[in-house]
Amino acid sequence: MLFPVMPLYLGTIGFTMVWIGVLEGVAEAISGLSKIYFGHLSDHLGNRTSFVRAGYFLSAVSKVMLAFSALTTWIFTARIFDRLGKGVRTAARDAMLSDESTPENKGAVFGFHRALDTMGAAVGPLIALLFLLKFPGHYQELFLIAFIPAVLSVLIAFLVKEKIQKAILKPKPSVMQIFFYWKTATSSYKKLILPLLLFSLVNSSDVFLLLMMKQVGMNDQQVLTIYIFYNLVYAAIAFPIGKLADKIGLKSILIFGLLIYCIAYGGMAITHSLLIYYFLFFAYGIYAASTEGISKALISSLVPKSETATAIGFFAGAQSICILLCNVAAGFIWQQFGAPMVFIIAASGAFLAAVYLSTQNLKLVRSDI
């Protein structure tokens, strides 16, 4: 509900493009670092649901915080709470998905999760759009409304039962050892995440896509509408493309998604047609459905089962650090060289990542070890 609204709201309270980039980058970095730590802790304790519940609780608190103050430090704190909550829950939740899947349906399981998650990301902005049409500029009231489904998500999480995991018997490593999981990871895991992390260095936050729509003349309602359209495409395609990935290979679909990203972002840099923007957001939905869940499904297939949350958490954490650097750089490039340059650089990075990944031979690990 709030993601597409945030850049619009931040603009009304005086945030510049650079400050928006810094805010989103710092928030994502905190989310990423916490994914590394709490992902490993979930594996170490053999517990998933406690982290899922705590993560949704922190994100719920952040929603209500936004309603009470527009001070810069307060906004930063609220965003940090939200992203910290995401960091606490994400790796444990994805490990649960992996635990409930088999090598034959892993793409479908992760795709189905992304479909439901993204349907929420379409319905939420639709509610926000209808509210802002009725009450333009009433952002604080919208934040309070968003608190309702956030609380419900916490309550529903208590209904989830998990398979009991065996705790890792070896001594808990130091924090620094956790953050250097790369050293002990499988070679196939390294081959996969290296190009994906390099791509993350040029793949700026979706906030910049929404701001691009504002720059070309769309009003708030049009921006929310095209974002809802993107999420509906993403939600509709995620499950069938996950099933397709199980048949033809997770890596093949991941490479396909990166190439679709080249079309979407490259097109953003050269067009000013509303109709073509809808086509590009359609392509962007295909990209998201082909990469986000698929990459996690593939990661969980390249590491031992006892390291699933650690591996996913490490990748997500390192990716968030890359996004931090990218968002700050994107804000600077936008102001100095214009928006098209941001999208051209991103499209080029996706193409190089796809080419590199196509040359790598990834060895799957048995799902029961």
Identity at 307, one-letter amino acid code: E
Q: CA geometry: angle at 346 spanning 345 and 352, to 5°?
A: 90
Integer Cα distance of 67 and 347 in angstroms: 37
Which residues, 6 or more positions from 123, have their beta carbon under 8 angstroms from its beta carbon?
A: none
Structural contact between residues 135 and 141, judged by C-beta atoms closer than 8 angstroms: yes
Q: Is the pLDDT of residue 17 over 90?
A: no
Structure tokens at 76: 């930063």
Phi then psi for 116, rounded to 5 degrees? -70, -40
**What domains are defined for the chain?**
6-159+174-358 (1.20.1250.20)
Give the mean pLDDT of the chain: 85
Contact yes or no for 304/369 (Cβ under 8 A): yes
Say which range, 110-114, 141-145, 180-184, has the weakest mean pLDDT.
180-184
Instruction: Using a pLDDT cut of 90, give the percent of the chain over it.
Output: 31
Q: What is the mean pLDDT of residues 66-74?
A: 82
- Over residues 330-351, the pLDDT tens digits come to 888 888 888 889 999 999 999 9
Q: State CA 14 to chain mean position distance.
A: 26
Any idea what the Cα angle at residue 327 is, between residues 209 and 7, rounded to 5°? 50
Alpha helices in 185-307 (DSSP H): 187-200, 206-215, 220-248, 250-268, 274-301
**How far apart are the C-alpha atoms of 345 and 355, rounded to whole Å?**
16
> Which amino acid belongs to residue 151?
V
The C-alpha atoms of residue 158 and residue 161 are separated, in whole angstroms, by 8
pLDDT more than 70, % of the chain: 93
Nearest to 31 by CA among 255, 339, 327: 327
First to last CA, the chain: 39
How high is the pLDDT of residue 137? 82
Tell how far CA 78 is from the center of its chain.
18
pTM score, whole prediction: 0.81
Could you tell me where the DSSP H helices lie in 137-186?
139-157, 175-179
Tokens of 313: 């958490």
